[in-house]
Amino acid sequence: MAAPTSTNKSFFSPEYFPAHLNEWMDGSGISPEIACLNLKSLEHPTKIAQLLSWKAYSGTAGWYVQGIDPITGASRNFGQFKPDEAIQFPDSDKPQKYFSFPKGAVSEAIFLRISLSAWYSIACRYGVSMPEQVEINDSGEALGFWSWVLEHPEIPISITEGVKKAACLLSGGYVGIALTGVWNGQQKKRTLIPSLQPFITPGRHVDLVFDADILVKPEVQSALKFLGHLLNVAKAIVRIVTWDLQLGKGCDDFIVAHGQEKWDEVVNNATPYSEWLKKLEQQFHGYRGADNQRQRTGKIPPADLVAHEIAAEYREQLAFNDEIGYWMRYEADNPGIWSIETNEYMESIVAKILDSKGIRGYGSYSYVTNVVKNLRVLLIKRKWVEPSPKELLPFRNGVLEVSTGKLLPHSPGYHLTWQLPRDHDPNGRNWSRIEAFLDHLSHGNAAIKETLLCFCNAVLKGRKDLHKFLHLIGLGGTGKGTFGRLLTDLIGSDNIYSTTLEDWCGNRFEAANAYKKRLVVFWDEDKQTGKLGKFLSLTGDDWIRAEEKGKKGFQYQYDGMTLVLSNIPIFTGDAASRIARRVITVPCNNSVSVHSRRDLNAEFAGELDAFTNHVLGLSDTHVTKVLMGLVDIPECTLEFWENRARVDSIAAWVNDWVIYDVLAITPVGNDKEEGLNGTPRTLYGSYCLHCKQSGTSPKANKNFSPDLLELCRSVLGWEVSRKVTKIGKFIQGLRLRTDWDKEIPTHDFLLMQRVTDENSLGNSSDAGLGGRLGDGSEAIQGMLSSFDDESSLIYKGDCKSELIVTRECNCKEGEFSQLAPGFNALSGKGFEEPSGLETLCVTCEESLEVELASLESPVLDMVSDAGEEAPALQLAKLLLQCRTWAEVENAIALYEAYEDEAWKLLEPEKQRRIKSLEVVSLLEVGSRVCIDPSSWNPLSPYIGKLGTVRKVMEGGYYEVQPDGESKRISYGVEDLKPVQMPVGVGGTQGGFMLAREKPGEPDWQDRGYNREQCDSLNDGLK
């Protein structure tokens, strides 16, 4: 069918609020053209009162629709108004959502304005030609549509309740006519209202399209029966359009949720009026037989028959939850939500229903009780299953499908027991105030801020699968409580439960209060010394036993999140180890001055929609990665360890006096007085001495080893083990700190260094420790200079290890770094322990003054009377200043005849340092080497093994991968000997060249050396 032409194709959108337009378009599937032609918004109370013909109006803003005369097309002074918030009248049980205007006017059918495209769709659906030319007014309305429908009785019409549903039907190609109520299609004289009569002609198909849930309500059934009867009398072909209530309450809800094609199927399967009436009569035949008998004999009908009728009428509004032993009622408190009702209130509801049915005079109250018991049998649900918040998130104005962002209509079939206390607004974007607060709470740390955002996502989506809880700890006035209240506003105060650790773990009735809650908050906790098993059940996906006084206990799995707030460490003793795997510790120490504090949560209220949209935009994969600790946050790790050391004496001792060493084996011991008689050599003796000096009570020897192993394995990630021999018990992987270990930082210092992220630690006071090692008594001497990349940290599996030693000085230009030999930067399992050697970092001028002074003192006789230095002395001084082997070769070339004398002037240590420059010049990535750390670790399993250089590090160190190993070990140049191989072609002996990992790499001549230089290099390798 060709579309007709029009005299005016302009389209004008009247004034309306964007939220109202979204309600029509997104919430009810109405086309933008029909929405803009009919929808109008009002917010001024006086204008709304005038529209409704009320004396005054004190409600919220809202939208309204005025119908048109189907013959003339002129606006009618009759329509429907909907406030943004329903109005509760004192004499009404439920708030009223819609109002017809003007007050007291005779009800009319509402005919909506229509666009040309919608008219064309209807004409195509029914195969009826449109006028050749259609006039369109300045607002874009296609004039004459309803007259065209009147002229063609072969076009079916659909009568529905409410203007939004009629607009939805028109948008989908159906002729939708709106009534303001199911009784408003007929007059008191039992005739059709005048505005409908012209359209009800013999043979015209008329579909009655009312909400799915009202078809089972007795008072509505009567209205529907009577309207169908009047249409039948007018010889119309009447059908009742029905569908499953779980698919949507109204026709617009159904179309939005399932699409236009599915709705077309529903319409095609509509039930003829006579058939529907017959089914309705049969539905309650048993009860009516009993009712008739009651009317004839005066007897009350049996309780079971009455219960069957009530169950049929209220099956979508009432259910008995056998899991908890309570009745549930749909939309008792909030739209789309099931609420718990007590048995007493349920009996009150049933009594009112009996009264509305005219069943009175039953005498004993036991009759009502028996009806309720029969209803329980008919409406019982063994398991109350509701969708996960990761799939569907309930708001007041619908249910958000998280995967698609689509807002679905409410339905009792979802069995939802909670909802967010606001409408979903997908257009919210500004949450700047909340973001500023999170920046303050996280002290500008992006990783901590992201953790807080991810936790908000987990609260909304119920990420019980993470098995984590958030612990905010720090000073008062830093924002911990504000964050807790932000979460409360985000998820809704009805959906959280506030308690204390003492009540939760000690009161057997407390757990029942958290059933179906989304967040459990422990607001201001003190140190907890009791059992924490029930608390851990909140985060472990365990079954929690709930009990209420006088009722049977039940079990449930808590599927929400948990938040703990405190000013001090609260988990002590064995509990500290048990919660280590589940806690996310966030430090909060950025306090706000008293005069600057204000009620931030009131300021956040207007940004909750935008904040919700942002938080829901985080992917599940990202949230899992952040909250499971796959993204390391040094501040949180440091805070957790410091708290642990404050409440756990073993952790404090390990931090100060123990070093992780994979090769060490140290006896456990059992003498707690050992340290009083000298330096302790056992772990337990050292631990007891530490406790005595720090003023804490030591643990019993029988608990010491298990707690130590648990701490090292679960908290620190160290691979330690307990060994039992004939002569005693030992711990492999730990050793006691000695005076030789001053250069090895304590664990808290390493964590602190990661937090400060400085390029150089400098001296100990610069590191923020006041010149002391951790909280011990010895100052850090020769503190190693920097951790300028991750390779300088030692990894043990996925955990940063204690054994971190760097030999880099990052000296500025003009400075010289003198490094003691024998130092290895260890890197996890298999990394060898360094000896306790100091590292000295001095400037170039200071170093030369010291070295030259020591050089010149024994050779003053080599200075001539004229003050001239002997050539050998001059060469020795030049050699001391060389930084590369090329400089050494150039210096020797100048004084070649005095080379032997110059070497004799240098001390052996200085000779070794200078000659090591030759090896340094030969080593690069890919070089083959022989490993020999025997000078400082004669027990190393890698002595004599071959390997490949994988990385050249600053300070003269190399990462080497031993053959047959996957790990890499850091060695100094003195620990490596380049592997040599014969050089020659066709049997000609050409000396030696450095072996390479890959064939085909250039030899010395390829690198620009002449033959003599190659021979010199090869001689040096020999």
Residue 704 pLDDT greater than 60, yes or no: yes
What is the predicted pLDDT for the residue at 715?
A: 85
Out of 3.40.50.1110, 1.20.120.160, 3.50.50.60, 3.40.1360.10, which CATH number does the structure's domain 14-280 have?
3.40.1360.10
DSSP 195-258: TTGGG--TT-EEEEE--GGGGG-HHHHHHHHHHHHHHHHTT-EEEE----GGG-SSHHHHHHHH
- Band (638; pLDDT cuts 50, 70, 90): confident
- Band (151; pLDDT cuts 50, 70, 90): very high
Segments of the chain assigned to CATH 3.40.50.300: 432-641
CB 381 within 8 A of CB 412: no
Residue 767 pLDDT greater than 80, yes or no: no
In CATH terms, the superfamily for domain 432-641 is P-loop containing nucleotide triphosphate hydrolases (3.40.50.300)
pLDDT digits (tens, 9 = 90+) for 474-526: 888 889 999 999 999 999 999 999 999 888 988 888 998 998 899 999 998 88
Residue 789 pLDDT greater than 80, yes or no: no
Q: Is the N-terminal amide bond of 102 cis, ω within 30° of 0?
A: yes
Average pLDDT over residues 838-860: 44
Among 808, 665, 787, smallest CA distance to 733 is for 665
Segments of the chain assigned to CATH 3.40.1360.10: 14-280
Residue 659: beta bridge partners?
Answer: 735
What is the predicted pLDDT for the residue at 4?
A: 55
- Band (18; pLDDT cuts 50, 70, 90): confident
Grouping H, G, I as helix, E, B as strand and the rest as coil, residue 81 is: strand
Whole-number Å distance between alpha carbons of 7 and 11? 12
Sequence-distant (≥ 6) Cβ neighbours of residue 340 within 8 angstroms? 321, 324, 326, 327, 328
What is the predicted pLDDT for the residue at 594?
A: 75
* CATH code of the region 648-737: 1.10.10.10
What is the predicted pLDDT for the residue at 41?
A: 93
Residue 399: beta bridge partners?
Answer: 394, 408
Whole-number Å distance between alpha carbons of 172 and 267? 12
Average pLDDT over residues 387-393: 91
Mean pLDDT of the chain: 79
Residue 144 pLDDT greater than 50, yes or no: yes
**Other CB atoms within 10 Å distance of the CB of residue 757:** 9
Average pLDDT over residues 120-128: 94
What is the predicted pLDDT for the residue at 774?
A: 35
Grouping H, G, I as helix, E, B as strand and the rest as coil, residue 971 is: strand
Among the residue ranges 201-210, 615-624, 673-682, 754-763, the one predicted with the least confidence is 754-763
Radius of gyration of the chain from Cα atoms? 43
Whole-number Å distance between alpha carbons of 680 and 674? 6
Highest mean pLDDT, choosing among 840-844, 928-932, 935-939: 928-932
Bigger pLDDT: 529 vs 263? 263
Grouping H, G, I as helix, E, B as strand and the rest as coil, residue 30 is: coil
pLDDT digits (tens, 9 = 90+) for 242-290: 988 888 889 999 999 999 999 999 999 999 998 888 877 665 554 454 4
Average pLDDT over residues 953-967: 82
Segments of the chain assigned to CATH 1.10.10.10: 648-737
Residue 634's Cα: distance from chain center in Å?
Answer: 19
Structure tokens belonging to residue 276: 């529907």
Structure tokens belonging to residue 475: 């000073």
> DSSP state, 674?
G
CB 693 within 8 A of CB 770: no
Among the residue ranges 43-52, 213-222, 651-660, the one predicted with the least confidence is 213-222
Average pLDDT over residues 179-191: 83
Whole-number Å distance between alpha carbons of 162 and 158? 12
Structure tokens belonging to residue 807: 């030999």
pLDDT digits (tens, 9 = 90+) for 407-425: 888 888 899 999 999 999 9
Residue 1014 pLDDT greater than 60, yes or no: no
Highest mean pLDDT, choosing among 208-217, 305-314, 1010-1019: 305-314
pLDDT digits (tens, 9 = 90+) for 433-483: 999 999 999 988 888 999 999 999 999 999 999 999 999 988 888 899 999
Highest mean pLDDT, choosing among 458-472, 662-676, 714-728, 761-775: 458-472
Whole-number Å distance between alpha carbons of 900 and 651? 57
Q: Does the global pTM surpass 0.75?
A: no
For residue 529, report the phi and psi dihedrals to the nearest 5 degrees. Answer: -110, -5
Among the residue ranges 681-685, 695-699, 777-781, the one predicted with the least confidence is 777-781
Where do we find the tokens 């920046």? 439
What is the predicted pLDDT for the residue at 852?
A: 52
Average pLDDT over residues 615-641: 86
